[in-house]
């Protein structure tokens, strides 16, 4: 792992939402930006970067263990195949994977995510217990063995990490207990609050913790109300899957009298700490309510497409000014340019228009508007004060590879557009987090291969 160099100079860098020329970047000893100075001649002691510089992004929603499942659910064996049948098959890996295998899979995943332009990941972590459903301490281990595997994988790769232990109490609105194949997920409110504090107590570099609630169908209403009291004043983020599937919306409406987001608003629960993951199926009134609350929305376009979730109302989310971020979720895509491309192209297909996310007169460039939206929203999703090429933010950045065939010969002002829409194969020549250049641990791919062969023998 290379040391912090402290000073870099870029001929071009993305500062305050636009390309700036001749930018001096200086990190402090803790790996945060001490200075970002456009219009500065290259000092002799600064490292000259080989290409234009972009901020890295936060991956705001990840289930690392599902990296072991990608490509294994793309056959249909019955008349109907949807999110719920995919979920039943996905539980196969959830019931088998060990902490050791999770470390190997997550280490490889985090190297892929770093190469894809993410330098911080929010792990929506509900795979808590041993395969028999008992805590790991009942087997002589540590109850946070799975969470620790994720943290150690992040440390091994240089990935920043926000661990989100998940409250998961029941199988559905009318199912007060978990299903047998959900036994590894079982938690109660006091336990996940205690686990959050334990993770914070690890004091690992670039590792922090928040809290997650699996979904309204999986959490009792009284637990949500109790959380509002027990968690008052804690600054950490709160994530929840919400309104991903129409069946979930219908069930919630039938059993509570409200759609999921409307129920959260009606209860007065939402504030700027909350992150609504997916929020695919919404009404204009719900979007306006979320905007008024200050809550953010995490979009996962690749996974939402793979699972057939549907398309969010992106134009209205953008117009309302709701903080947005991106998530790799089930890991079927692991680069943010591809996620942004999916996000825009889905809207183009359904609306039969082009440059849907652009804002003529304000920000006519689609890629720039989307990139800035998710750059800013990612900080809140991860529980970080700020993010990007600005003083105080962590010194995380990407160096574009202008030798990539898709970027060759393009005007400098169009490089972000091409990074998203020209489909470069390897857009980034270098990735830095906390002021250090990150490269894949040499053994990561082989260890992942061994873990997958153990999970899915030929």
| Residues linked to residue 59 through DSSP beta bridges, in sequence order | 121, 326
Cα separation, 326 vs 445, in Å, equals 25
Catalytic residue, from 278, 281, 309, 404: name it: 278
Cα separation, 234 vs 142, in Å, equals 26
Torsions phi, psi of 187, nearest 5? -150, 165
> Do 313 and 297 contact (CB within 8 A), yes or no?
no
Catalytic residue, from 104, 313, 329, 396: name it: 329
Count Cβ neighbours within 10 Å for each residue of 362-374 and write b for 16 or more, e otherwise: ebebbbbbbbbbb
Number of Cβ within 10 Å of residue 352's Cβ equals 7
Cα separation, 372 vs 96, in Å, equals 39
The structure tokens listed for 210 are 């928040």
The structure tokens listed for 40 are 């500065």
Active site residue 329: yes
The structure tokens listed for 214 are 């699996």
Burial class (CB in 10 A: 0-12, 13-18, 19+), 349: exposed
> Do 225 and 267 contact (CB within 8 A), yes or no?
yes
**Residues labelled catalytic:** 278, 329
């Amino acid at each position: 792992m290379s040391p912090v160099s402290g000073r870099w100079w870029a001929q071009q860098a993305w500062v305050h939402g636009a390309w700036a020329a001749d930018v001096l970047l200086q990190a402090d000893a803790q790996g945060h930006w001490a200075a970002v100075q456009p219009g500065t001649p290259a000092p002799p002691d600064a490292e000259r970067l080989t290409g234009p510089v972009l901020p890295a992004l936060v991956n705001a929603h990840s289930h690392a263990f599902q990296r072991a499942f990608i490509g294994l659910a793309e056959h249909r064996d019955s008349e109907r195949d949807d999110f719920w049948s995919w979920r039943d098959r996905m539980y196969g890996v959830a019931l088998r994977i060990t902490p050791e295998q999770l470390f190997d899979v997550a280490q490889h995943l985090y190297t892929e995510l770093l190469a894809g332009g993410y330098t911080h990941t929010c792990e929506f972590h509900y795979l808590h217990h041993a395969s028999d459903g008992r805590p790991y301490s009942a087997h002589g281990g540590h109850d946070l063995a799975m969470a620790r595997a994720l943290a150690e994988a992040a440390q091994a790769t240089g990935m920043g990490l926000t661990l989100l232990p998940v409250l998961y109490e029941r199988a559905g609105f009318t199912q007060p207990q978990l299903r047998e194949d959900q036994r590894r997920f079982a938690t109660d409110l006091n336990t996940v609050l205690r686990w959050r504090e334990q993770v914070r107590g690890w004091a690992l570099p670039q590792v922090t913790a928040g809290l997650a609630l699996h979904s309204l169908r999986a959490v009792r209403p009284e637990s949500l109300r109790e959380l509002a009291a027990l968690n008052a004043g804690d600054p950490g983020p709160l994530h929840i899957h919400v309104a991903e599937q129409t069946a979930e919306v219908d069930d919630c409406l039938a059993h509570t009298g409200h759609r999921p987001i409307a129920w959260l608003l009606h209860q007065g629960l939402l504030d700027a700490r909350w992150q609504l993951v997916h929020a695919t199926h919404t009404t204009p009134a719900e979007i306006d309510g979320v905007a008024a609350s200050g809550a953010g929305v995490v979009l996962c376009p690749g996974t939402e497409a793979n699972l057939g979730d549907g398309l969010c109302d992106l134009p209205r989310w953008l117009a309302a000014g709701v903080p947005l971020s991106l998530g790799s979720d089930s890991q079927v895509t692991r680069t943010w340019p591809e996620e942004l491309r999916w996000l825009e192209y889905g809207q183009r297909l359904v609306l039969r228009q082009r440059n849907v996310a652009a804002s003529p007169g304000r920000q006519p460039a689609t890629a720039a508007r989307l990139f800035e939206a998710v750059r800013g929203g990612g900080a809140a999703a991860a529980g970080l004060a700020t993010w990007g090429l600005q003083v105080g933010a962590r010194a995380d950045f990407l160096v574009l590879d202008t030798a990539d065939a898709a970027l060759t010969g393009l005007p400098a002002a169009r490089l972000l557009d091409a990074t998203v829409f020209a489909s470069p194969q390897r857009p980034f020549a270098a990735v830095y987090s906390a002021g250090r250049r990150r490269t894949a641990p040499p053994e990561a791919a082989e260890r992942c291969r061994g873990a997958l062969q153990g999970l899915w023998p030929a």
